[in-house]
Amino acid sequence: MLKIGGATVNQIPFDWNNNTNNILEAIEEAKKQQIKILCFPELCVTGYGCEDLFLSDWLSEHAWKEVLKIREYTNGITICIGLPVRLDGITYNGSCVISDGKIIGITFKQNLARDGVHYEPRWFDPWIPYRIIEIIRGDEKIQAGDLIYEIEGIKFGFEICEDGWRKNYRPGYRLMERGVHLILNPSASHFAMGKSLLREREVVLDGSVNFNCVYLFTNLLGNEAGKMIYDGDIIISQKEKLLAVNKRLSFRNFNILACDVDFKNPANSQVVISDDIKDKNEELAQAVALALYDYIRKSKAKGFVLSLSGGADSSCCAVFVAEMVKRASSELGWEKFNKALSIQAESVHEAVNKLLTCAYQGTTNSSSQTFNAAKTLAESIGAEFHQWTIDEEVNSYSQKIEKAIGRKLTWEEDDVTLQNIQARSRSPIIWMLANVKRAVLLTTSNRSEGDVGYATMDGDTSGSLSPIAGLSKVFILQWLRWAEKELNQTGLNAVNNLRPTAELRPLERNQTDEDDLMPYAVLAEIEKWAIYERKSPLQVYEVMKINYEPDALKLWIKKFFRLWAANQWKRERLAPAFHLDDLNVDPRTWCRFPILSSGFSEELSKLDQY
C-alpha cells in the first residue's frame, strides 16, 4: 500500500508569498496524513495566468528560488510542483519532483493547450518525447525532460494537463511501454459547466484504463487571475475504477485528497466516496460565488455596487453576490470570511448589506413592477438599496442637444438616441457610488446581448466586472427560476414573472428585448451554430430550417450576423467577465474576430438568393 494524494491550491499570479504558503500548508497537512506522493497543480509556483511574464527571465528565476524554499519542507515526502523553466531563451512548462529534500527531476509538458481560452504556444515550447537533458541550477545538476521516476518501487511519470486531453498523442502510451505504475496529471483546467465529468471520464478513467495504471489528476482552484475559474478537482482512478473524487470549487486556500493504493491488488485499494455535485445550475452557482469571492479578496475592493433594475440580468448578479456570502461564510466560518474580506458580520444579511449596494434608477419609462421587483429582491437578500430618478439628467442633456441641433428630439426620428441617453445617464452616478464605497461596479451584460451589441456603450455596459457576460439569456432566465426554488431565493418571485424589457421607450410602446431582436431561444441557437460550430450564414440556415418558417429564419440569421460583425468593437469594450460555459464571446479569450470586416455581406446575400 502506498498513500498518494493531490493538493489543490488557490494561487495568484506571481504572488510568491501566497503561493508558497499555500503549498507549504498543504505539505504539512499531507505529512500529517502520511501521504507519500503528493501532486500539486500545473504552474502552481507562479500561477497559471502570468501571461507574457512567462517570456521574461526573472519570473522563472524567482520561481526557482521558491522551489528551493519549498524543498526544505519535503523530508519524508515526495512532491511535484509546477513552474516555468527557461532554457536558452525558451520557456518550458514543467513539473518538478522533490523527494525527501532532493530535486530528482523536472518533466516538461509535451502538448500545449491552444484552443478556446488557452494560448500556451505564445509562451511555451512543447517538449519532444523521450528527450532528456541535464540542466545546471547553482551548483546542482538536474535531470529534465521526458523522465520517469521511482519511489518505494512504484514507477511514475507525468501527463501535464493538455497532455491528457490529446487522445492519440497522450504521453501515457509511451509511459506504459516504459512500465510506469502511476501517472500524475498536474492541471490548470478551467471551469465550464458540465466539464468536470469529461475530466473524470476522458482524462482520468480513460488514462488509467488505457495505460493500465493508477492515474492521479490535480487541478488548480478558484478565480486565479480574473476570468478563468479552476474547479480544484482531485481525481484518482485505478484501471477501470474511480477511487476518489473531491468536492470541487472550495473557498479554502487548499484542499487535499488522498487514498491508500495497492498497486498489485487493486481490490485492496481504498475508495473514497465522493460528495461532489455535478448539476449544472448548482455548479454554476458555486463557481460564480467562488469567482466573486476571490475577485474582491484578491483585488482588495470593499464590495460591489450594482444598478438594479428588477430585470433578469441585474437580479441575477445580485443573487450571485448573496450566494457568495452564503456559501463562503458557511464553508469558512465567519471569522475566516470576515478576515478575508475585511468586514465584520455575523449573518448572511449583515454581510450582504456590507458588501452589496444597489440602486434603482427610474425614469418616466420605468414601471412600478420593475421597481417593486428590485426593492423586494434587495430586501430579501439584505443588500443596501437606494432609489432615485434620472429624468432631470436625461432632460438636461436632451435640451442641450436640441438647442445645438436646432430641433426637438422625437421617438419617431431619434429612437436609439433617446434610449441610449437614459442608459448613459445612469452611468456617472452609479460610478460615483462605486467610488464612494471603494467598490467594484458590476455590469450586467449577458452573452446574448454581447452577440448583437444590445447594450449602450458607457451606459449599461459601465462597470469593471461582468459576472454573467459568459451566460446566454435563455440560461439566465431558467437559472433564476431554479434559484428561486432550489436556493430558496424567494425574492426572485417578482423578477421571474417579468418579461425581459429595457424600459427605455415610453411605456405605451411596450418595448421587449425579443421584439427588438428575435426570440432569445432562436438567438441562442444561431449563436451555437455560427459561433461555437463556426458555420457560415447559409450553413446555419441549412441546419435550422426544419424547425422555422423560412423567411423569418432568414431575417433572424441576417440580423444576427450583421449585428455580430458590427458590434465586435463593443465586445472589445465589455468589462472583464468570468468564463463559465464551453462557448464565450470575450474577444480577449475565447473568441477572436476582426473589428472591421465585410460584415458577411456576400455570405448574407447568398442566403437571400437561396
Ligand X SMILES: NC(=O)CC[C@H](N)C(=O)O
Ligand Y SMILES: Nc1ncnc2c1ncn2[C@@H]1O[C@H](COP(=O)(O)OP(=O)(O)OP(=O)(O)O)[C@@H](O)[C@H]1O
Ligand Z SMILES: Nc1ncnc2c1ncn2[C@@H]1O[C@H](COP(=O)(O)OP(=O)(O)OC[C@H]2O[C@@H]([n+]3cccc(C(=O)O)c3)[C@H](O)[C@@H]2O)[C@@H](O)[C@H]1O
Nearer to ligand Z, 110 or 370 (CB): 370
Nearer to ligand Y, 477 or 553 (CB): 477
Q: What are the cell numbers at 579?
A: 468564463
- Binding residue for ligand Z (CB under 6 A) from 513, 527, 581, 586? 513
Amino acid, res. 160: I
Binding residues, as ranges, are 189, 195, 420, 444, 449, 570
The candidate with the shortest Cα–Cα distance to 603, out of 571, 552, 548, 564, is 564
In angstroms, the CA 169 to CA 99 distance is 29
Alpha carbons within 13 angstroms on the beta-carbon side of residue 98 total 22
**Residue with the shortest CB distance to ligand Z:** 502
- Binding residue for ligand Z (CB under 6 A) from 569, 597, 601, 606? 569
Nearer to ligand X, 12 or 352 (CB): 12
- DSSP codes, 145-198: ES--EEETTEEEEE--GGGGT-GGG-THHHHHHTT-SEEEEEE--B--TTHHHH
Interaction between residue 580 and ligand X (CB under 6 A): no
76 CB-contact burial (10 Å; exposed 0-12 / middle 13-18 / buried 19+): exposed
Q: Which residue matches cell numbers 491552444?
A: 114
- Binding residue for ligand Y (CB under 6 A) from 187, 237, 329, 501? 501
Interaction between residue 451 and ligand Y (CB under 6 A): no
Residue 146: count of CB within 10 angstroms of its CB: 20
- Binding residue for ligand X (CB under 6 A) from 108, 127, 165, 251? 165
Binding residues for ATP, as ranges, are 444
In angstroms, the CA 189 to CA 230 distance is 6
Strand-strand pairing, 132-137 and 140-145: antiparallel
- Binding residue for ligand X (CB under 6 A) from 188, 249, 341, 477? 188
Nearer to ligand Z, 186 or 463 (CB): 463
Distances (CA, A) of 461 to 304, 504, 576: 15, 15, 11
Q: Which of residues 75-114 bind ligand X (CB under 6 A)?
A: 113
The candidate with the shortest Cα–Cα distance to 359, out of 293, 283, 426, 312, is 426
- Binding residue for ligand Z (CB under 6 A) from 516, 524, 536, 593? 516
Among ligand Y, ligand X, ligand Z, none, residue 42 binds (CB under 5-8 Å by kind): ligand X
- DSSP codes, 390-444: -HHHHHHHHHHHHHHHTS---TTT-HHHHHHHHHHHHHHHHHHHHHHHT-EEB--
Total site size for ligand Y, rule CB under 6 A: 19
Q: Which of residues 36-55 bind ligand X (CB under 6 A)?
A: 42
Catalytic residue annotation: 42, 109, 161
CB of 477 to ligand Y, least distance (A): 8
Contact footprint for ligand Y (CB under 6 A): 307-309, 311-314, 360-362, 366, 426, 444, 460, 500-503, 513
Contact footprint for ligand X (CB under 6 A): 42, 113, 118, 161-162, 165, 188-190
Contact footprint for ligand Z (CB under 6 A): 416, 419-420, 423, 453-457, 459-460, 502, 504, 513, 516, 569
